[in-house]
Amino acid sequence: MPLNCTAFFVSDRTGITAEMLGHSILTQFDDITFAEITVPFVDTEDKAWETVARINRTALSDATRPLVFSTLVNEQVSAIVQQAEALYLDCFQVFIAPIEAELGFKSSHTVGRSHSVRNNDYYNRMDAVNFALAADDGQSVKDLEAADIILVGVSRSGKTPTCLYLSLQYGIRAANYPLIPEDFDAMRLPGSLNGHRSKLFGLTIRPERLHRIRNERRPGSRYASMQNCEHEVRAAEALMRQESVPVLDTTTRSIEELATVILHEANLQRHIY
């Protein structure tokens, strides 16, 4: 019999850390269907009591006690939420004690350090996002000079979202440049990319997936046809191999994975943490 359970991610800030960790852990439980609820900005005792009431209402209606993944730092707030009818899992405290013991230093128990605005982070990020927008789809050739990395690949192979993620998450200046049928006829990289060979990183995609994606935008077009997608992907892969451009298949990878692989394989320096 499938089991249902509610998981709360409770935080005094955005809840993103609790949500990410908790969600990863819950995916390890195949047999259980989880309802996942994020409760951010629980930063006063009043809000803590509201959260307790909400968890307790769920406890009454569910067949199992809820799980609470907490990244609450304030001890008063955390002590209140722990009174809820739930399994309380403290994502910070469980690690803080062994680290304190190891290093012989006490932690500061300060709320909301991790995502606070640090000035350089802010500017680096804005800068990188503006750069990615300006340098999208080969729009601005002179930006290739300033890029940390240049993604190449056929239209709709995932270049734009990967560039945006690299810029938002890591502050990387990511440009992208499409490979088009003319390039395949000549079996040569676009001339604008000369002199930037060391920055190139290729994306590829399975033809069936590309066909499906293109067909949503331009149903029934030659551009979206299975035959054309097969041709373009095969030619692009051959061209990138010929030119020794490293290639990553986007078909089975999430944006986070693509960005992480590129960051590490291209040995890029992240500008924000």
Q: Hey, which residues between 32 and 91 contact its own copies (CB under 8 A)?
A: 32, 36, 40-41, 64-65, 67, 69, 71, 73, 87, 89, 91
The correct pick among 31, 61, 220, 244 for binding its own copies (CB under 8 A) is 31
Instruction: Considering only the stretches 14-22, 75-83, 177-185, 198-206, report the one whose residues sit in contact with its own copies under the rule CB under 8 A.
Output: 14-22
Overall size of the chain counted in residues = 273
Please report how close the Cβ of residue 143 comes to its own copies at its closest, in angstroms: 15
Name which of 45 and 265 has its Cβ closer to its own copies.
265
The correct pick among 1, 60, 61, 98 for binding its own copies (CB under 8 A) is 98
The correct pick among 1, 28, 60, 61 for binding its own copies (CB under 8 A) is 28
Residues 6+ positions from 155 with CB-CB distance below 8 Å = 178, 180, 214, 223
Binding marks (x or -) toward its own copies, 159..188, rule CB under 8 A? -xx--xx--x--------------------
Please report how close the Cβ of residue 252 comes to its own copies at its closest, in angstroms: 6
The correct pick among 25, 134, 226, 235 for binding its own copies (CB under 8 A) is 25
The Cβ-side half-sphere exposure at 120, using a 13 Å CA radius, reads: 5
Please report how close the Cβ of residue 241 comes to its own copies at its closest, in angstroms: 22
For residue 30, the tally of other CB atoms under 10 A from its CB is 6
The correct pick among 6, 10, 12, 13 for binding its own copies (CB under 8 A) is 13
The correct pick among 1, 60, 61, 117 for binding its own copies (CB under 8 A) is 117
The footprint of its own copies on residues 197-256 (CB under 8 A) is: 213, 216, 251-256
Q: Closest Cα partner for 233 from 251, 217, 260? A: 251
257 binds its own copies (CB under 8 A): yes
